[in-house]
């Protein structure tokens, strides 16, 4: 019988030689199962592959009837083999016929075999198939034999991930690893993309499976572990890990797993079995992933992501492959697939080839989603388990409107979306015809449609969309993508170019709004339990007056004597706005003393996004020139839901009665004091939500550039006054218990309004 230091190593070397031989696919598989049977002193070795239709097909055998190959199938859960596949666990039994799941397939002739050892074949936690050995005598296989089988299954999994064995699949079928998948998630932006997958954290490609020198592999593992542990420890001093307690929690999980003796011991045992360090890490992670995915404990399953990331980090350390996909040339129509990522990481990609982004963990109002929309990307979030089931280069279709991801779509699905894409192009052409047309409702109400920006690249969409100007220029993006604090001259250059592109159209610069989920890597901060409600935005700016003064100085210089419109973010009480106004006035006085040109007009507005300010609008409004509503934070604070947490971010409807009443209060107060009001949060980017805003009296909406066309088309087809009357009744709760969203849908359908 083989042992971990003898027979398994001999088998692995034989497998390596077989992989290098110029054999046809079936010949190679037949030889592999024959080698396993001989090495294990088994009468039977069989390899079952999981197909896309959920059936396990016998792909190769040594010992069973050869005519059963590609003809015998088992459903998931059927027989012992089906049970192994459904539960991703090894089964070792002395007499298979006594097992409650035993199922006999007459065409195989396996009724005379008793001893049974079956192991799951896994890759990246996915079930690919089952590897089985059997003997005529009644006996249990020992631990070393089971370990050897699990190691061999790891090699088979890597082989199966190549396209070599695709020719063995029957027409009209496919192996589960490469079958079409559909993920229903949440669309962050409208549009359709037919493109190619680019994994944000690409999987390490393993080319060497079998260890030539066990001691050398152990030394490589030890060196990689030391390097990885040091890098994790270093991260605790990095700013972006200090700001967010969530980041720090992830780091703590990394450190815990990196020093876990059980995890490391299992990797060492796999190397002792004859695997290279890379394959050993992959094998242990596959087993761990399969077990954790079947846990009912939510916390344990959530920790799976941490362990996955750690294993990938160790693999990159072992191979020296630390570069991410963004370092390489992207294919045309690239779709980034990631578990999560920050806005700065997204901006590092070549935007000329980027078409979409799919995230497992993100909400529509998270900052990366906002940046994706500003770049004109089709973006989808909450798309778990996208990262685990796709490979670089896979074909992918994104339907942003429906929030659907089609991975490796079949010809029929692709054909449907090619037609949809043509219709989408026709709609874009229709929007382009409207760009010079004023957005006026059928009953004569003009709606100012503005654009949210933060990058010079999305500023150029002004001419294409016909937006009246920029209702919100997010100045923080320049700070977030820079490796160091932008200098005065760098800020002047950006603001000057933005004003130049706006070309006398309105542009409202929001003062620096960082902190929370907007991490700036070069600024240190304390660890905060709840960063969204912590040291961020205006609070940070007032505590760092030098930072605020430099930005205002740059904006005054960039205006070059023209009008300047500034927006103060996250005003919690009027005093904070007054303090900011003092800084602006002092900088204006300084320029006058120096004989420098000052703006012909300066408007200073407040952003309404903290609920407390709603209760002193009578004090604030007489002191401001305009106000803007930041719906992302306002809804977050009103509902006590973290907008970056996908478990709660979509739990409450932003236009449900409580939120809409709060917004209506702001609208009424602005009218009372004759103060211009704009909605510049993401709420204005979606047609039905924009309709709700207009129904409560808002006539100035700022949105992502891709939303301007659809919203304008809706405005032009709308009669607003009847809807306002309906909404007044709804706000007084006089329309029974019908949700606001349903009221709006009914109105749209009854009037045949385009949304």
Q: Which of 82-86, 123-127, 730-734 has the highest mean pLDDT?
A: 82-86
Lowest mean pLDDT among 21-25, 47-51, 130-134, 301-305: 301-305
- The reported pLDDT for the residue numbered 130 is 96
Measured distance CA(59)–CA(225) in Å, rounded:
38
Supply the angle between the helices 705-716 and 687-695 in degrees, to the nearest 10: 60
Q: Where are the beta strands (DSSP E) in 51-141?
A: 55-62, 73-75, 91-93, 115-123, 126-135
Omega prior to 385 cis, within 30 of 0:
yes
Of residues 401 and 203, more confidence is placed in 401
With a cut of 90, say whether residue 236 has pLDDT above it.
no
**pLDDT band for position 746 (cuts 50, 70, 90):** very high
- The reported pLDDT for the residue numbered 323 is 47
The count of residues in the chain is: 755
Tokens for 744, please give them: 């709006």
Tokens for 382, please give them: 């909450």
Tokens for 163, please give them: 């396209």
- The reported pLDDT for the residue numbered 283 is 79
Triad 156, 281, 18: Cα angle to 5°: 30
486, 522 contact by CB (below 8 A): no
Of residues 415 and 600, more confidence is placed in 600
- The reported pLDDT for the residue numbered 75 is 92
pTM of the model: 0.65
Domain residue spans in the chain? 7-174, 181-202+325-424, 214-319, 435-751
The separation between the first and the last C-alpha atoms of the chain, rounded to the nearest angstrom, is 70
Which H/E stretch holds residue 271? helix 261-272
Mean pLDDT calculated for residue range 2-29: 77
- The reported pLDDT for the residue numbered 369 is 82
Of residues 342 and 48, more confidence is placed in 48
Which CATH topology does 214-319 take?
Answer: Enzyme I; Chain A, domain 2 (1.10.274)
- The reported pLDDT for the residue numbered 246 is 46
Whole-number average pLDDT of the chain: 85
Domain 435-751: CATH architecture, name and number where available: Alpha-Beta Barrel (3.20)
Which CATH topology does 181-202+325-424 take?
Answer: Glucose Oxidase; domain 1 (3.50.30)
Convert the pLDDT of each residue in 133-178 to its tens digit. 999 999 989 888 888 888 788 878 877 777 666 677 776 667 777 7
* CA atoms within 13 A of residue 724's CA, in its CB half-sphere: 13
Convert the pLDDT of each residue in 462-480 to its tens digit. 988 899 999 999 998 877 7
Measured distance CA(112)–CA(531) in Å, rounded:
66
629, 670 contact by CB (below 8 A): no
Sign of CA dihedral 423, 429, 431, 437: negative
Rounded to an integer, what is the distance from CA 140 to the centroid of its chain? 46
Helix, strand, or coil here: 677? Answer: strand
**pLDDT band for position 388 (cuts 50, 70, 90):** confident
- The reported pLDDT for the residue numbered 578 is 96
Measured distance CA(725)–CA(312) in Å, rounded:
58
Note whether 181-202+325-424 and 435-751 share their fold: no
Burial class (CB in 10 A: 0-12, 13-18, 19+), 331: middle
Domain 7-174: CATH architecture, name and number where available: 2-Layer Sandwich (3.30)
Measured distance CA(409)–CA(414) in Å, rounded:
6
Helix, strand, or coil here: 405? Answer: strand
With a cut of 90, say whether residue 498 has pLDDT above it.
yes
389, 179 contact by CB (below 8 A): no
Supply the angle between the helices 214-235 and 298-319 in degrees, to the nearest 10: 120
Convert the pLDDT of each residue in 321-330 to its tens digit. 654 445 457 8
Concatenate the DSSP letters of all residues of 142-164 into one string. PHHHHHHHHHHHHHHHHHHTSSG
381, 359 contact by CB (below 8 A): yes
């Amino acid at each position: 019988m083989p042992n971990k230091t003898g027979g398994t190593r001999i088998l692995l070397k034989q497998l390596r030689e077989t992989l290098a031989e110029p054999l046809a696919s079936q010949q190679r598989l037949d030889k592999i199962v024959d080698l396993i049977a001989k090495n294990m002193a088994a009468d039977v070795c069989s390899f079952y592959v999981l197909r896309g239709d959920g059936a396990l097909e016998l792909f190769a055998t040594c010992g069973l009837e050869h005519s059963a190959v590609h003809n015998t199938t088992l459903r998931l859960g059927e027989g012992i083999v089906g049970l192994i596949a459904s539960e991703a666990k090894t089964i070792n039994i002395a007499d298979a016929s006594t097992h409650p799941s035993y199922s006999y397939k007459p065409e195989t002739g396996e009724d005379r075999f008793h001893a049974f050892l079956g192991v799951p074949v896994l890759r990246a936690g996915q079930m690919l198939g089952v590897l089985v050995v059997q003997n005529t005598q009644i006996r249990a296989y020992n631990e070393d034999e089971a370990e050897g089988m699990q190691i061999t299954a790891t090699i088979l999994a890597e082989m199966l991930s190549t396209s070599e064995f695709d020719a063995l699949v029957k027409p009209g079928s496919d192996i589960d690893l490469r079958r079409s998948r559909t993920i229903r998630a949440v669309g962050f932006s409208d549009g359709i993309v037919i493109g190619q997958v680019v994994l944000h954290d690409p999987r390490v490609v393993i080319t060497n499976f079998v260890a030539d020198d066990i001691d050398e592999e152990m030394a490589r593992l030890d060196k990689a572990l030391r390097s990885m542990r040091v890098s994790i420890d270093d991260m605790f001093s990095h700013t972006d890990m200090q700001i967010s307690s969530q980041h720090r929690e992830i780091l703590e999980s990394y450190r815990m797993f990196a020093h876990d003796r059980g995890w490391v011991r299992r990797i060492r045992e796999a190397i002792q079995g004859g695997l290279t360090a890379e394959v050993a890490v992959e094998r242990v992670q596959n087993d761990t992933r399969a077990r954790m995915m079947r846990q009912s404990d939510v916390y344990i399953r959530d920790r799976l992501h941490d362990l996955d990331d750690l294993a990938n980090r160790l693999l990159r350390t072992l191979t020296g492959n630390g570069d991410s996909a963004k370092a390489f040339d992207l294919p045309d129509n690239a779709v980034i697939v990631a578990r999560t990522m920050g806005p700065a990481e997204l901006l590092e990609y070549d935007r000329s080839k980027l078409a979409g982004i799919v995230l497992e963990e993100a909400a529509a109002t998270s900052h990366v989603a906002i940046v994706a929309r500003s770049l004109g990307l089709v973006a989808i979030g909450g798309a778990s388990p996208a990262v685990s089931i796709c490979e670089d280069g896979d074909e992918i279709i994104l339907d942003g409107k429906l929030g659907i991801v089609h991975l490796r779509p079949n010809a029929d699905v692709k054909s449907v979306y090619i037609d949809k894409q043509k219709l989408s192009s026709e709609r874009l052409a229709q929007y382009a015809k409207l760009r010079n047309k004023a957005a006026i409702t059928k009953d004569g109400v003009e709606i100012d449609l503005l654009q949210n920006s933060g990058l010079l690249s999305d500023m150029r969409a002004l001419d294409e969309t016909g937006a009246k100007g920029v209702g919100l220029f997010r100045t923080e993006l320049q700070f977030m993508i820079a490796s160091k604090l932008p200098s005065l001259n760098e800020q002047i250059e950006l603001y000057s170019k933005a004003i130049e592109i706006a070309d006398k159209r309105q542009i409202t610069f929001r003062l620096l709004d960082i902190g929370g989920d907007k991490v700036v890597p070069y600024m240190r901060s304390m660890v905060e339990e709840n960063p969204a409600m912590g040291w961020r935005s205006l609070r940070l700016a007032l505590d760092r007056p030098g930072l605020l003064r430099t930005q205002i100085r740059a904006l005054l210089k960039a205006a070059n004597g023209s009008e300047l419109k500034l927006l103060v973010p996250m005003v919690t009480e009027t005093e904070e706005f007054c303090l900011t106004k003092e800084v602006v006035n002092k900088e204006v006085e300084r320029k006058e003393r120096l004989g420098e040109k000052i703006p012909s007009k300066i408007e200073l507005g407040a952003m309404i996004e903290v609920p407390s300010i709603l209760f002193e609008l009578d004090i604030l409004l007489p002191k401001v020139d305009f106000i803007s509503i930041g719906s992302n934070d306002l809804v977050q604070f009103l509902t006590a839901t973290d907008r970056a947490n996908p478990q709660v971010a979509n739990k409450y409807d932003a236009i449900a009665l409580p939120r809409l009443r709060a917004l209506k209060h702001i609208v009424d107060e602005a009218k009372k004091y004759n103060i211009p009001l704009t909605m510049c949060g993401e709420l204005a980017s979606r047609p039905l939500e924009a309709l709700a805003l207009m129904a409560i009296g808002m006539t100035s909406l700022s949105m992502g550039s891709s939303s301007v066309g659809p919203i304008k088309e809706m405005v032009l087809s709308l009669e607003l006054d009847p809807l306002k009357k309906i909404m007044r009744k709804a706000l007084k709760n006089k329309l029974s218990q019908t949700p606001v969203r349903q009221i709006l849908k009914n109105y749209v359908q009854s009037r045949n309004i385009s949304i």
